[in-house]
Structure 1
Amino acid sequence: MQQHLQWWRDFVDWQQQGQTVVLVTVIRADGSTPREVGASMLLALDQQQQIQQSDTIGGGHLEYQAIDLAKAMLVGQDTRQRWIERFNLSARLGQCCGGVMWLLFEKIEPDANQQLLECHKAWQNGQQVLRQVTDQQGSVWMISDHSSQGLVSAFQTNDPHSKHSHQNNQHQSNSLHVSSDWQWQQQIMPYRMKVMIFGAGHVGEAIVRCLLPIGVQITWVDTRDDIFAEDLQDQVHCISTDLPEAELQHFDRSGAVLILTHDHQLDLQLCFAALQSVTQAFAFVGMIGSKSKRAIFEKRMQQRGYQQAQLNHLVCPIGIEGIHSKQPAVIAVAVVAQLLQVFAQHS
């Protein structure tokens, strides 16, 4: 499943704000480790010289040491621009994971880089971005126009004493000899999890807030103007329309549909549209409501000619079993857990 790339979103924002940052990236992970190759953590200093952190490389002593090293770079105690450090999680850090991780530290000065902005916009539109780092040139960002075929990241060194080339292999145990002639490549993949939510009431808003931290492309639809939470509008594609069911025609069939509106008749119209006969069904169609609401809707849809196979795609009530609270935040947790199960099966 695609990880949430909060560091990537914040990197672009912090660069535009003129902040110097240190980007810490896992470039190799052997054995049991808290994060995978390609995981990144972004660090900067605020006006009080306190650390700002975006994302994580696994927490614990590893992360504490990495933050200390990054802070030394930010305040000028360590003048290196980019370097690689090996961490033995058991011997050096006393963590129970027992693996070994190599971290790439990069100090990146603020730069009004138009190519970076173009890459970020392309990523938001569903394209892949390639970041290439070399010891001498630093980071170069480019839009990738071909599939990575599962490649998330790659480290290569041209050290004549090393035959090691690592490509997202967490079980490789050979020692890594780093020369001054190395390069690191990282494929920044667009979010694969897509959810279209109909209804911007309390439950819809709670689900959006629950989905955002895990990295989901969200389309939020409602018939009412000025209903969307103001602080979420920059993070979510919000659509106010008199014909919400028409939005389903443009939505990716590999995505999930949630029907949570304030109007039962509108819920029914959306069910008609989401379950209509097509070549490929949506990965998930869920509607908030009781078993009796589902029974009434099924009867109405059968009268319209919908077959049982189509009706079986409708999930109502929504949320994993065993959670009965009607609090919006609790419903959101139950529904998002259910969606994670669905996307895990389709990944």
Structure 2
Amino acid sequence: MQHLQWWRDFVSWQQQGSTVVLVTVVRADGSTPREVGATMLLRLDAQQQFQQSDTIGGGHLEFQAIDLAKNMLLDSDQRQQFVERFNLSARLGQCCGGVMGLLFEKIIATDNDHNFITCQKAWQNGQGIVRQISSQELPHKSLSTWSIAEDLSQSLNCDFQQTDTAWQWKQTIQPYAMKVMIFGAGHVGESIVRCLLPIGVQITWVDNRDDIFPRDLIDQVNCISTDVPEAEIAHFDRSGAVLILTHDHQLDLQLCFEALKPSNQPFAYVGMIGSKSKRAIFEKRMQARGYSQIELQRLICPIGIEGIGSKQPAIIAVSVVAQLLQLFNIKR
């Protein structure tokens, strides 16, 4: 599973005009704290304080990598990009004892961030993003190029090639397998969205109220304002999860009718916020409409993992996201 906070922050920080250093694991031999492709991002913020996004595993390895990245940001290290080898046992004294190769790349912000914005929007819509860099390129072309993957099914996640004199790296930033359609932009809906975003989940967020979506989330999530929310279900990927969290019980019922309709491919998950008594009432009304017991059993209500009874939105969100992660990890 990819954790992609660095990718979101990378695009955001580029838009803010920040110079950044990307630190990427390009080799991982033996026992290592992170896998090939794991990436960490660093910058100096407006107060000239170092800011980090994501991790390559922590410990002495990360401390040394951060020091190298800081030197690049402060221009005490003039290199734009290089690959450094770390022996975790001999050099760093870490018990895992493997060998890792880290790619360091300094990316100076420019006024032209359109390509990064285009790539992020494509990624949010389920497309892969390809990053390529080679030490053999001319100096002014030695930084990464970023493009939208033409055929994601044929894309390798990561590929590092190295000889005695040169190296090249190709990385595909895959969209996360989990897709979630959330109905309801209230406190619980917002908390779940904020919990899902760092993981890289593809989120569609639907509400029938205007100007309900938080402004800071509009560019990160596919937000839909519509008078007929239930109509959106027909357009959603059947391998995804549907979460019903609206402020209107009648709308919740209508959404259940649509999400649980008999189908050759039912949704991977249909969950509705509510109590056991709410579920019982809904089941009676759905049985009256001809829904079978098999179809009704697919409705998860109450939502979230067992043993967590809090009604605080943030805690509900953690419980629900944990339930979704369990489901999609099994499906992988």
TM-score (norm 1): 0.88
Query: Could you list the per-position Cα deviations for residues 202-224 of structure 1 after superposition, in whole angstroms to 9, with x for gaps in the alignment?
Result: 22122112212222111111222
Superposed displacement of residue 113, structure 1 = 5.7
Alpha-carbon spacing, 1:238–1:316, altered in 2? closer, same or farther (3 Å): same
Alpha-carbon separation, structure 1, partners of 2:71 and 2:270:
50
Conservation of the 8 A alpha-carbon contact between 1:200 and 1:221: yes
CA distance in 1, matches of 2:128, 2:226: 30
| Matched-pair contact (CA < 8 Å) for 1:122–1:143 | yes
Q: Any idea what SS the aligned residue of 1:28 has?
A: strand
Q: CA shift at 1:116, angstroms?
A: 4.1
Does residue 133 in structure 1 map to residue 133 in structure 2? yes
C-alpha distance in structure 1 between counterparts of 2:206 and 2:177, whole Å: 20
Which residue of structure 2 lines up, in the alignment, with residue 284 of structure 1?
A: 269
Q: How far apart are 1:18 and its partner, in Å? A: 3.0
- 1:169 matched residue in structure 2: none
1:259 and 2:244 aligned: yes
SS for the counterpart of 2:257 is: helix
Q: Does 1:146 align with 2:145?
A: no
Match of 2:214 in 1: 229
Please give the root-mean-square deviation of Cα atoms over the aligned residues, in Å: 1.8
Shift of 1:15: 2.8
From 308, 322, 328, the counterpart of 1:323? 308
Question: How far off is 1:150 after superposition?
Answer: 6.8
Match of residue 44 from structure 2:
45
1:124 corresponding residue in structure 2: 124
**Aligned-pair distance for 1:257?**
0.6
Distance in 1 between the 2:114 and 2:165 partners?
28
| Structure 1 unaligned regions, length at least 5 | 160-178
Q: Deviations over 1:312-334 (max 9, x none)?
A: 21111111111112222211111
The 1:220/1:63 distance shift into structure 2, 3 A limit, reads same
Q: Distance in 2 between matches of 1:292 and 1:47?
A: 52
Q: CA deviation at 1:30?
A: 1.6
For residues 28 and 53 of structure 1, the distance between their equivalents in structure 2, rounded to whole angstroms, comes to 21
Residues 1:210 and 2:209 aligned together: no
Contact 1:132 1:184 (8 Å CA) reproduced: yes
1:89 aligns with 2:88: yes
- The alpha carbon displacement at 1:277 in A equals 1.4
Q: 1:181, CA displacement in angstroms?
A: 2.0
Structure 2 counterparts to residues 301-320 of structure 1, below 5 A: 301-320=286-305
Q: 1:288: Cα distance to partner?
A: 1.1
**1: distance between equivalents of 2:116 and 2:319?**
37
Q: Look up the match of 2:280.
A: 295
TM-superposed CA distance for 1:117, in Å, is: 4.2
Aligned equivalents of 2:207, 2:308: Cα separation in 1: 27
Q: Deviations over 1:218-260 (max 9, x none)?
A: 1111222222233322222222221110010111111111111
1:149 Cα deviation from its structure 2 partner: 4.7
How much does 1:104 deviate? 0.5
Task: Please name the residue that 2:105 is paired with.
Answer: 106
Q: How much has 1:123 moved relative to structure 2?
A: 2.1
Aligned residue pairs, count: 326
User: Secondary structure at 1:212's aligned position in 2?
Assistant: helix
Shift of 1:28: 0.8
Q: Distance in 1 between matches of 2:95 and 2:227?
A: 56
Distance 1:232 1:11 in 2: 16
Say whether 1:27 aligns with 2:32: no
What is the CA distance between 1:16 and its match in structure 2? 3.4
* Higher mean displacement: 246-255 or 13-22: 13-22
For residues 16-50 of structure 1, the C-alpha deviation after alignment (integer angstroms, 9 at most, x for no partner) is 33322211100011222221100111111224432
Which residue does the alignment assign to 1:67?
66
What letter matches 1:40 in structure 2? T
SS in 1 for 2:144: strand
CA distance in 2, matches of 1:194, 1:96: 37
Helix, strand or coil at the partner of 2:77: coil
- Distance in 1 (CA, whole Å) between partners of 2:102 and 2:185 is 42
Is 1:148–1:187's contact at 8 Å kept on the other side of the alignment?
A: no
2:127–2:152 contact (8 Å) kept in structure 1: no
Q: After superposition, where does 1:326-345 map in structure 2 within 5 Å?
A: 326-345=311-330
